[in-house]
Amino acid sequence: MALYFYITLISLIIHFVLIVPFINFLYKKKFQRADQKTLDAFNKPTPIYDSFHKHKSGIPVGGGILVLLVSSFLTLFFVGGFKFFEIHTNTNYPSIILELVIILFSFLSYGLLGVFDDLNKIFIWKKKQFFGLSLRIKLIFEIILAVIISSALYFGLQISIVHIPFFGVFDLSYFYIIFASFVIVAFANAVNITDGLDGLASGVLLIALISFWTVARSIIDVPLSIFIAVWIGGMIAFLYFNIYPARIFLGDTGALSFGAAFAVIGLILGKAFALPIIGGIFVIEIVTSLIQLISKKYMGKKFFTVAPFHLLLQYKGWEEPKIVMRFWVFSIIFALFGLMIAFLK
């Protein structure tokens, strides 16, 4: 157990040392959120959202890139170190390498998709240009990646069951690919939607990751335990610079990548039922957004004054730090309930 704490601490130190020069690099390359006037010229204005976030123009977007690359490298380094020094690397699946490939592919592939979206927002590429991904095209790419990952889980790691506490274990067979794909796409977008306030998505995700690390250690899944331990270290360092007032944002690169990887962790651990509970804040955020979208499209009116939920609270007069802190508290409560569900037979 102590070895994983060392891994987290080393990851934290490395990320912390790199993040300040990385922020300076992003400033130098103007990898920043465009000013509101420029955004309004190319996108449909969103008055309520803009009124709360216009002061954040110019803050670097791309913190997810650093965590993504450094965490991936450190995961490979530590797994390789375990092998080199012949430290026991147990897993519940046929192949440690395949499990690691699936995790990192989820992490990096959705991160790459997020890079295109960030670049489009930062440099305001027009839709007719190659990199300008519309929401529909972006969703198609997300689904394609999710199907690839889900197929690898099913055919490679031979995962096809879903455990529902008190009801038993259900074998979904080929339908598992559809189920897992939906979970991955849903959480990729849920984390992206939640990433709207300083420290909100990163803090909630950190709490959820600690919960899943507890589960991974309980079943002695070494590759997954190493990956989560490294990722936690990176998220702590990032959160230090992301809390209000933020010096850096995750961007779609981090939000999409982290959401997808979080979902894949839950699927690999066999805790798909606990996943929406541990990630309860993410579920609330995406559900409120979905209700708003459906209401506007099919009923011609808004269900909420504004969505997602954190923006509604801002509109109601809650200060940003107050919303974030209370979401963290509720995230801890969700995590505790989720862990209770995860350990039920």
Taking only the tens place, the pLDDT of each residue in 310-336 is 999 999 999 999 999 999 999 999 999
* Backbone φ, ψ for residue 23 (5° rounding): -60, -45
Distances (CA, A) of 273 to 148, 174, 182, 184, 269: 22, 18, 13, 13, 11
Binding residues: 192, 252
Contact assessment for residue 173 and residue 288, using Cβ atoms and an 8 Å cutoff: no
For residue 12, what are its two tokens? 């934290």
Please give the sequence-ordered ranges of beta strands (E in DSSP) within the chain, or none if there are none.
161-164, 168-171
d(CA 39, CA 126): 12
Which residues lie below 8 Å from residue 9, measured CB to CB, with a gap of 6+? 233
Distance, CA of 146 to CA of 151 (rounded, Å): 8
Residue-level pLDDT at 39: 53
The whole-angstrom separation of Cα 255 and Cα 113 is 11
Residue pair 288/272 in contact by the 8 Å Cβ criterion: no
Please tell me what DSSP assigns to residue 60: B
Largest CA distance in the chain: 63
**How confident is the model at residue 116, as a pLDDT?**
82
Tokens standing for 159? 């995962």
- Is residue 268 within 8 A of residue 103, CB to CB? The reply is yes
Q: Tell me how far CA of residue 155 lies from CA of 17, 102, 327, in angstroms.
A: 40, 12, 38
The pLDDT tens digits along the chain (345 residues) read 789 999 999 999 999 999 999 999 998 888 876 555 555 544 555 656 556 566 677 788 888 999 999 999 999 999 999 988 888 788 888 889 999 999 999 999 999 999 888 877 666 544 444 344 677 888 999 999 999 999 999 999 999 999 888 888 899 999 999 999 999 999 999 999 999 999 999 999 999 999 999 999 988 899 999 999 999 999 999 999 999 999 999 989 999 999 999 999 999 999 999 999 999 999 999 999 999 999 988 888 889 989 999 999 999 999 999 999 999 999 999 999 999 998 887
Which residue numbers belong to the known binding site for Mg(2+)?
192, 252
- DSSP-derived secondary structure for 62-90: -HHHHHHHHHHHHHHHHHHHHHHTT----
CB atoms within 10 A of CB 333: 12
Q: Which DSSP category does 159 fall into? A: -
Q: Which two tokens stand for residue 19?
A: 């993040």
Residue 105, exposed/middle/buried by CB under 10 A (0-12, 13-18, 19+)?
middle
pTM score of the predicted model:
0.93
Task: Render pLDDT for 194-208 as a digit per residue (tens, 0 to 9).
Answer: 999 999 999 999 999
pLDDT at 68: 96
Q: Distance between CA 121 and CA 304 in Å, rounded?
A: 26
